[in-house]
Amino acid sequence: MASLSSALQPLSSALLRCPSSQGSLRSNGVSLSFGRLQSSGRRLRIFCEAKPETVDKVIKIVTKQLAIKEGSVKAESKFEDLGADSLDQVEIVMALEEEFKINVDENGAEAISTVQDAAELIEKAVSKAV
């Protein structure tokens, strides 16, 4: 996992900064019992932030794909809440692949439910490609 390669930070503070984690952290800062982090896989993600530039690019692509008013899409926006169906999601992932010159595997594409998820997936794929 590429996430360990950059400067390490204490686990609890990294998780506290994560904008889309839901629910409260246990006092040991390690186990998270609910929210996005549980539903998108059993891996414990140490870094759940994507660069703002990545998030912005995703927002731009999603806004265009779904023909939504500019400014309506945020990092924590859920695709479902934005009115995206399964075809929209596939088109969005394909547009992101083209924009960032990456390949997203099928499992990864299914796991994303928010803009933030997509941005993190992209950064993971970009760092793998390097």
| Interacting residues toward another protein by CB under 8 A | 64-65, 67, 78, 80-83, 85-87, 90-91, 94-95, 106-107, 109-110
Two tokens at 69? 């008013």
Start-to-end Cα distance in the chain:
13
d(CA 13, CA 47): 10
In the complex with another protein, which residue's Cβ is closer, 25 or 95?
Answer: 95
In the complex with another protein, which residue's Cβ is closer, 53 or 106?
Answer: 106
Q: Nearest approach, Cβ of 98 to another protein (angstroms)?
A: 9
d(CA 4, CA 1): 7
Q: Nearest approach, Cβ of 65 to another protein (angstroms)?
A: 6
Cβ–Cβ < 8 Å for 121, 129? no
Q: Nearest approach, Cβ of 116 to another protein (angstroms)?
A: 15
In the complex with another protein, which residue's Cβ is closer, 47 or 75?
Answer: 75
Two tokens at 13? 């503070």
Q: Which is catalytic among the residues 56, 81, 85, 105?
A: 85
Cβ within 8 Å of residue 66, ≥6 positions away: 73, 82, 83, 84, 88
85 is an active site residue: yes
Catalytic center residues: 85
